[in-house]
Amino acid sequence: RYLNHKRTLPLPPGPSRLPLVGNVHQLPLQYQQRTFTEWGKQYGEIVFAKFFVRPAIILNSLEVAQDLMEKRGSKYSDRPRFVLINELVRFKPMVFMSYTDEWRRQRKWYQTAIQARNAIDSYLPLQRRETNKFLLDLIQTPQAFENHVKRHAQAFLPCCRFSAAMMMEIAYGHSVSSVDDEFVKFADNALTGAIEADSLVATLVDFFPFLRHIPTWMPGSGFKRRAFIARQRVREMLDTPYDKVRREVAAGTAKPSFLTYLLDELSKDNEITPEDQESIKYAVCLMYGAGSDTTIITLLSFLLAMVLHPEVYRKAQAEIDRVVGSERLPELEDRPSLPYLECVLKEVYRWNPPAPLGVPHNVTHGDVYRDHYIPKGTMVIGNIWAMTRDPSMYPDPDTFLPERFENLDSETAEQCSPHRMVFGFGRRLCPGKQLGDYIIWLAAANMIATLDICKARNASGEEITPEAAFDSGAVSHPKHFECDIHPRSQKVADMVVQLNAHTT
């Protein structure tokens, strides 16, 4: 009787649906988060929609996201079926994996390798070294600070190099030194091909899995041909760096990394099986895939915000000068003494959350919430973008205003911290949250301490004010913008050169 009662409850409110297509005709291909936010204003914090046959709920508030994905984690931690990525491209990393034992196993690896306190601390020297190189790059080639930093980048310049190098070294123990680094090329080629879709919410074959069987000669099967090409690249990305590091392990020349840690762990009791090898390859390559783009986006968003808001940059510089002085560079231990910088970075995450719709979850058992029925198999979209623009938490949400986080008591500060949403939710919460946050903090603090960042000027000497504009897609890259970066003084430039001379 209880089950029948549950099913007779209404579905959450949402836009009216057409037979067969559901709400697909109302779903734009670009900036879907904006449409979902509009639906939220009309129908409430939880909106029901149907994309062809697939039911979906869009969660537009942090409270609802936490109620469902965190408090009811046992029902809300699965992923929807990603037919294109998982089955056609055969790209099966943990992030797109169902809530299975294999997911738990790989998640545990991440827990030990990048979430445990001692593991995080063990990356500090590497972070320091890469941050020093990053500063030197910015001083030597400032005009190239982002130059096509996106995945498609052939030009491999400071922001991109910094994030990619850090993740490659942690994942494979591989030092990235040149613009033509082969590990990075393999990974970038494969990831660009594998995740071609503009958004993770929808590709046609995900809605109609039978389409994966259409022959490649048929019109409209282009997605399948592209998937096959991406499949080969994915194989290269998985196998080539892995084989190289295994050869280095055999020769005794491998540097410690996530990969060598997993090889050690798994070979302790038994021989590593082919299935183990495949799991290791995926876990390691995902660290680069999930960790580099998100940190690049955050750093570029920080730079863009600082170009647009010089008064914020000056205030952050004054704080660093007061606390750290000019004889050394900021270290992570300085973090608690730099509260304004903390506000600036929170505001950067809020202003442009790197993954505006996160990664969708999936409901494994029918559920009832606020007198509405949520059917099993419903896709759950956490609209992080809407949450970071909730005017009840962030008045005047479109304005970049770090001061909104200043002078809050610790409870309120915790409650309205964007860290609670931009890294996702519940059991699927980003395992790289802390590592990513450290990398970004250290890079930003050191940029502020050593560099002046301001608007570039055109040929007539007039300042160029960039637009605060971001690409559409599963991740939100700032659109190309110009800026002028130079060392604050000769003394600081010399210090950066010296530090690099000591660390290389």
> Structure tokens of 264?
């050690």
Closest to ligand HEM by CB, 436 vs 487, is 436
**Nearest distance from C-beta of residue 294 to ligand HEM, angstroms:** 3
b vs e for 155-179, b when ≥16 Cβ sit within 10 Å of the residue's Cβ? ebbbbbbbbbbbbbbbbbbbebeee
The least CB distance from residue 222 to ligand HEM, in Å, is 29
Residue closer to ligand HEM, measured from CB, 296 or 324: 296
SS3 16: coil
- Classify burial at 115, counting beta carbons within 10 Å of its beta carbon; exposed 0-12, middle 13-18, buried 19 or more: middle
Least distance in angstroms from the C-beta of 397 to ligand HEM: 18
Q: What is the CA radius of gyration of the chain?
A: 23
Q: How many residues are present in the chain?
A: 504
- Whose Cβ is closer to ligand HEM: residue 22's or residue 402's? 402
Q: How far apart are the first and last CA of the chain?
A: 70
Alpha helix positions (H), 252-273: 258-267
Count CB-CB contacts under 10 A for residue 422.
27
State both tokens at 119: 């593991």
Angle between helices 258-267 and 158-172 (to 10 degrees): 10
Compute the least distance from the CB of residue 419 to ligand HEM, in Å. Answer: 9
Q: Residue 111 or 498: which CB sits closer to ligand HEM?
A: 111
For ligand HEM, the closer of residues 205 and 355 by Cβ is 355
**C-beta of 64 vs 493, nearer to ligand HEM:** 64
By the criterion CB under 6 A, which residues form the site for ligand HEM? 94-95, 107, 110, 114, 286-287, 290-291, 294-295, 298, 354-355, 358-359, 422-425, 428-432, 435-436
CB of 146 to ligand HEM, least distance (A): 16
Considering the complex, state which of residue 241 and residue 432 has its C-beta at the smaller distance from ligand HEM: 432
Residue 149 vs 211, nearer CB to ligand HEM: 149
Contact 22, 52 (CB under 8 A): yes
CA–CA distances in Å: residue 170 to residues 155, 257, 261, 285: 22, 5, 11, 11
Q: Which CA distances in Å does 431 have to 8, 79, 291, 385? A: 38, 16, 10, 20
Non-local (6+) Cβ contacts of 158 within 8 A are: 134, 137, 138, 141, 144, 145, 146
Give 446-496 as a DSSP string: HHHHHEEEE--B-TTSPBP-----B--SSS-PBPP---EEEES-HHHHHHH
Nearest CA among 392, 332, 341 for reference residue 60: 392
- Cβ-based nearer residue to ligand HEM, 138 or 348: 348
Q: Which is nearer to ligand HEM, 6 or 107 (CB)?
A: 107
Report residue 404 CA to chain centroid gap: 24
With contact defined as beta carbons under 8 Å apart, do 476 and 296 qualify? Answer: no
Shorter beta-carbon distance to ligand HEM: residue 338 or 474: 474
